[in-house]
Structure 1
Amino acid sequence: MTTNEKSQSILLAGASGVLGRHIAHALTEAGHKVTGLGRSGENGIRADLMDRDALLRAVDGHRFDTVIHAATALRKPPMRDSDMYATDALRIQGTAHLVEAARAAGARRFVVESMVFGYGYGDHGDRPLTEDAPFGPPGRTPRLERHIAGMRTKERLAFDAEGLEGVALRFGCFYGPGGTDALLPLLRKRQLPVPGDRGRVLPWVELTDAARAMAAAVERGRPGQAYNIADDTPMGFRAHVETVARTFGLPKPMTVPLWLMKPMSYAHTMMASRLRVSSAKAESELGWRPLYASSGEGLAAMRAASRG
């Protein structure tokens, strides 16, 4: 097994994002030096992943041991398919450009944020998927293929990059500090209707748990390998949102038929999916276990922290 546990110099694309801030903290706590890369002034290196030439100029003269791609174009949860298009592009063109930048900066390791939806949107039954399941199958529709192609290509670019040790983390749905906060005003105003789950469940992972997994992958991930990262308790979208409301003392969300969500095309597709994954490989190879076995536990910790 590859081990890179010494203090590393790490370039983190997406450091100012919700997940990125947690990753930067986890890496710093583990003794690594983190430099953020992105368009905002919060980053040590300012550059747009979609602008290849400007990106290469920005990293010129810098040296990093590892480069992490955790950048998205999302500023709020995606509701419509069009909300995902800029992130789809970042996963394809942005990843290709960042691979070039990683090589130019002398990096040896390239770790990418991926998602469990790369196994395909839809009903996968009750058996948890392992990393041996086909990843990036053709999408059932052109819009779904656009999203899946982004995840498929991002991983392939990482794994196939000559001279780089590519590792991918396939995360469940995120929640926790900086993520769940966006739901609270909607729940307070009863502006977040949810459909019945009807046996549909999704994998979830708390954001600080996800960040710890990224630090573990930097240090112990095997080159060319992907790892599922999710907690022990898959949960339907409605059940998750109801748990948020109950934990924070907010009104229970209104339940609506799933078909009413169709105008919010991406959210409808996600809520209509049934997907479970196994994180056993991450436990055995990365030494990673979720601190929060369920979103109920993670949300309770978030609530307690918010009370000071």
Structure 2
Amino acid sequence: MDNTENVLLAGASGAFGRHVAEELRTMGHRVLSLGRGPGNDVVADLMDRDALLRAVDGLRIDTVVHAATALRDAPMKHRDMAATDALRVEGTAHLVEAARTVGARRMIAESMVFGYGYRDFGDRPVTEDDVFGPAGLDRHSQAHVDAMRTKERLMLGTEGIEGIALRFGLFYGPGGTEALVELLKRRKLPAVADRGRVLPWVELRDAARAVAQAVEGGRPGEAYNIVDDTPMGFGAHVRATAAAFDTPRPLTVPASLTRPMSYAYKMFTTSMRVSNAKARAELGWTPRYADCAAGLAAMSD
């Protein structure tokens, strides 16, 4: 009996999507890539509803994975997130319609922990029981959080489809860390003073493995935090990257100097510890790398 699943992967050519495709194929799934570029199996733009529905017409798909992003570079200002916010809302609505068209049983959303809000959460670990998409934030942050909440609502709440959301920490690893290393080599990247602030991280291949496990595992309608075991401040992560790749040691600067980079400043001044206990218990997922230091060391070997 052939138990192979057909998976339609939106964003397969991205830094994260490439790892997801590899993990899915390793587990025996047939992966069809969906994206705007000519190298994709299904060529379509998620923002163009009619073209997307034409492109998937006639396909029969078991699972749809939404790992598409509009980002090409790390966002520095709030306006850099506008296209991604639109993709989370309009693009997701179109992809859900396409999933229904191809008869998909399950959808998996790439989400992120910043959907809990951009603020200092103190020492208590954030869990999936915390409010996702809270109100009361500043105007720009609220737009990003609202878009994350809408993406999850669309993918978890569609009748007849088993939706699962994976709330990832900050990515690092092959396909993501190299740009940081180059900046460090050219002495173009300072390390922001963390002052006790920490953020959740996850290595890209660990994150991709969670997607592959969610194709069959997990409870429909549920969200899972996908983070490693040890939070680390952004500045500390930059310094750990420099140490792992033997680049010049970065200059440490106060976060206040990054205020003109409005989105980056908001992220630098957020602090959250996030629990991965639910993913361990229900998905059977555990991070291969418990912390950034281990993941970066493995990458630099």
TM normalised by structure 1 equals 0.96
In the alignment, which of 183, 186, 192 is matched to residue 195 of structure 1?
Answer: 192
Deviation at 1:184, TM superposition (A): 1.2
Provide the rounded CA distance (Å) in 2 between the counterparts of 1:225 and 1:261.
Answer: 36
Deviation at 1:77, TM superposition (A): 1.1
- Unpaired segments of 5 or more residues in structure 2? none
* CA deviation map 1:261-303 (0-9, x unaligned): 0111111100100111110110011110000001111011111
The letter of the residue matching 2:159 is E
The letter of the residue matching 1:67 is V
Q: How many aligned positions are there?
A: 300
SS at match of 1:220: coil
In the alignment, which of 221, 225, 232 is matched to residue 224 of structure 1?
Answer: 221
Deviation at 1:139, TM superposition (A): 5.0
Provide the rounded CA distance (Å) in 1 between the counterparts of 2:158 and 2:136.
Answer: 25
Alignment of 1:153-302 (within 5 A): 153-302=150-299
Provide the rounded CA distance (Å) in 1 between the counterparts of 2:232 and 2:136.
Answer: 24
* CA deviation map 1:82-106 (0-9, x unaligned): 1111111110000000000000001
2:85 equivalent to 1:73:
no
Provide the rounded CA distance (Å) in 1 between the counterparts of 2:279 and 2:254.
Answer: 36
RMSD: 1.0
2:22 equivalent to 1:21:
no
Provide the rounded CA distance (Å) in 1 between the counterparts of 2:253 and 2:6.
Answer: 49
% same residue: 64
Provide the rounded CA distance (Å) in 2 between the counterparts of 1:149 and 1:51.
Answer: 22
Tell me if the contact between 1:120 and 1:135 (Cα under 8 Å) persists in the aligned partners: yes
- Unpaired segments of 5 or more residues in structure 1? none
Provide the rounded CA distance (Å) in 1 between the counterparts of 2:278 and 2:260.
Answer: 37
* CA deviation map 1:45-93 (0-9, x unaligned): 0000000000000000111000000000111111111111111111000
The letter of the residue matching 1:278 is S
Tell me if the contact between 2:5 and 2:29 (Cα under 8 Å) persists in the aligned partners: yes
Provide the rounded CA distance (Å) in 2 between the counterparts of 1:180 and 1:60.
Answer: 38
Tell me if the contact between 1:139 and 1:146 (Cα under 8 Å) persists in the aligned partners: no
Provide the rounded CA distance (Å) in 2 between the counterparts of 1:275 and 1:250.
Answer: 28
2:114 equivalent to 1:117:
yes
TM normalised by structure 2 equals 0.98
Tell me if the contact between 1:196 and 1:257 (Cα under 8 Å) persists in the aligned partners: yes
Tell me if the contact between 1:38 and 1:47 (Cα under 8 Å) persists in the aligned partners: yes
The letter of the residue matching 2:262 is S
Residue in 2 that maps onto 1:63: 60
Provide the rounded CA distance (Å) in 1 between the counterparts of 2:107 and 2:167.
Answer: 15
Deviation at 1:254, TM superposition (A): 1.1
- Runs of 4+ in structure 1 deviating by more than 3 angstroms, as ranges, are none
Residue in 2 that maps onto 1:136: 133
Residue in 2 that maps onto 1:147: 144
Tell me if the contact between 1:76 and 1:182 (Cα under 8 Å) persists in the aligned partners: no
